Amino acid sequence: DGGITQSPKYLFRKEGQNVTLSCEQNLNHDAMYWYRQDPGQGLRLIYYSQIVNDFQKGDIAEGYSVSREKKESFPLTVTSAQKNPTAFYLCASREVGYTEAFFGQGTRLTVV
Amino acid sequence: QKEVEQDPGPLSVPEGAIVSLNCTYSNSAFQYFMWYRQYSRKGPELLMYTYSSGNKEDGRFTAQVDKSSKYISLFIRDSQPSDSATYLCAMSAGDYKLSFGAGTTVTVRA
């Protein structure tokens, strides 16, 4: 089945630790995205990548980092510099030239 | 002012009622309009996609776009308890970025 796989589904992090969220897609899409979702605020763009080895900051990139070494993979690292990391994180992909984005099932990160 | 405004609700309707959801936007460059459905603790799934003013129908769902008023709507006919979810509108000017509304939480009572 084609789709986007995010792992883990739930993640707990101690304050001061970095943590990496995985996102893999087999849709052969060029563009991939990371969003953060908080209650009542909709989806906010963290980073996006339109091609391998290239990525750009979104609206709320501070405290996050990404890499895009392979077309199918776009991991997100939440660093200790992110002051309020507890949130629901969504990865999406999209084919260049089309506008619909397809989402993974999300990772819920909680800082303990 | 946010680029996309969407009333977060919550909206509660009896089974069989018509659900009416809407979003307004300020960016006249938006050309593509989408509606996503998101169940609790799940990722959003694409429901409808349209790029022209007017109506687009798919089963019980109708998406309506009025570019002159910068207003889009989603109607759900004969609503079912399984339609209970958060509905997100999304818009694009054709570039990399998708702008989302905050989402409207809908509950359909059996």
* A101–B98 CB contact, under 8 Å: yes
- Once rounded to an integer, what is the mean pLDDT over residues B45-50? 93
Set of chain B residues whose Cβ sits within 8 Å of the Cβ of A4: 43
- What letter represents residue A23's amino acid? C
CB B76 within 8 A of CB B18: yes
Mean pLDDT of chain A: 93
Contact A40 B102 (CB under 8 A): yes
pLDDT tens digits, A10-68 = 999 998 899 999 999 999 999 999 999 998 778 999 999 999 999 999 999 999 999 99
Give the DSSP letter of residue A99.
-
Q: According to the model, what pLDDT value does residue A40 have?
A: 73
Query: Does the bond joining B14 to the residue before it have cis omega, within 30 degrees of 0?
Result: no
Count Cβ–Cβ pairs < 8 Å, chain A vs chain B: 52
Q: Is B46 in contact with A31 (Cβ distance < 8 A)? A: no
Q: Do A106 and B34 touch (CB under 8 A)?
A: no
pLDDT at B21: 97
Task: Say how many Å lie between the first and final Cα of chain A, rounded.
Answer: 35
More confident residue, A1 or B99: B99
C-alpha closest to that of A103 among B74, B46, B59: B46
Distance from the B74 Cα atom to the nearest Cα atom in chain A, whole angstroms: 17
Chain B's closest residue to A59, CA to CA, is: B97
Look over chain B and give the mean of its residue pLDDT values, rounded to a whole number.
93
Euclidean distance between CA atoms A27 and B63, whole angstroms: 26
pLDDT at residue B48, rounded to an integer: 93
- Does B43 lie at the interface with A, CB-CB under 8 angstroms? yes
Segment B42-58 shows an average pLDDT of: 92
Q: Does B42 touch chain A (CB under 8 A)?
A: yes
> B104: which chain A residues are within 8 Å (Cβ-Cβ)?
none
* Confidence at A74, pLDDT banded by 50, 70, 90: very high
Say whether A101 and B94 touch across the interface (CB within 8 A): no
B18 three-class SS: coil
Among A43, A57, A110, most B C-beta atoms within 10 A, so best to mutate, is A43
For residue A1, pLDDT over 70 is answered with no
Per the CB < 8 A criterion, the answer to whether A103 and A4 are in contact is yes
